[in-house]
Amino acid sequence: MECIAFCTATSYRIKPLFEFMRNRYKTALYRDVVHIEVPIETVNVDILFFSYGASIFWGLNKEKASKFLDEIKEFEFQPREEVETDEFTYIYGDTAKIIEDEITFTDQDILSKIAVSHAIAQSVKLSTFETTIQNTFNSTKHLPEDLAKQGKIPLSRKEIRKKMGELFIERNSVNLHLDVLDTPEFFWEYPEREPLYKMMSNYLDLETRVEVLNHRLDVVHELFEMLGNELNHQHSSRLEWTIICLIVIEVLLTVSRDLLKLT
């Protein structure tokens, strides 16, 4: 069976979404997670919506899941232009494990799926951060090179300010939402399910990816400071040339007065 994960927005308006769904399907609300049980043909499909814009579909293919997501667009906050996705398969067996993107559950309890889904949802959300930072690198990687080759950044003060604003917005956008990658509060109530979360989290290498992301955010911060220094340098250079021009004008006026006296 299939498991499809999406990250379609910065966040979902989770309470209105819950109220909307409970009138149509069997629905339950956990900590920042809405669980919906949808009858599809002869089986029930489990759908999970996380407050930070991620959704997981258990037992539904990608095409049908995408159609379902179209129905809840009104509950999205800041929809993403590029939707992040991830795909797995799952079965039931004697031992909980994951091998080559196939998840094995030992029971059909929805709490087990929620535990695993937390890690999958965090992974697909983390992918959006990684994409954002990578796009930032791609759009600014020429700046340090220009500084190294030419000794300055060939941008006007207005362009530098705009670039600093873009960096500030993107860095803050990631920083403000990094807390969604912490161990979910769901496991305060269901600590016996945390091993499933840890298993999936380790498989998806979440801890290492978060460390790499934090390192990249530090690089963005350094780039932000470099642009600030360049802006200050341009301002200082402008002041220096203004002072030089004033001195030249003063000298010319003095010389002109002396010449006039001589005549």
Segment 86-103, tens digit of pLDDT: 999 999 999 999 999 999
Query: For residue 259, what pLDDT band results from cuts at 50, 70 and 90?
Result: low
Segment 213-237, tens digit of pLDDT: 878 777 777 776 766 666 666 555 5
pTM (predicted TM-score):
0.80
Segment 148-180, tens digit of pLDDT: 777 666 666 677 677 777 777 777 777 667 778
- Structural domains present in the chain: 2-231 (3.30.310.50)
What string of H, E and C letters represents the secondary structure of the chain?
CEEEEEEEEEEECHHHHHHHHHCCCEEEEECCEEEEEEEECCEEEEEEEECCCEEEEECCCHHHHHHHHHCCHHHEEEEEEEEEEEEEEEEECCCCEEECCEEEECCCCHHHHHHHHHHHHHHHHHHHHHHHHHHHHHHHCHHHHHHHHHCCCCCCHHHHHHHHHHHHHHHHHHHHHHHHHCCCCHHHHCHHHHHHHHHHHHHCCHHHHHHHHHHHHHHHHHHHHHHHHHHHHHHHHHHHHHHHHHHHHHHHHHHHHHHHHHC
* pLDDT reading at 245 higher than 80: no
The pLDDT score that the predictor gives to residue 243 is 72
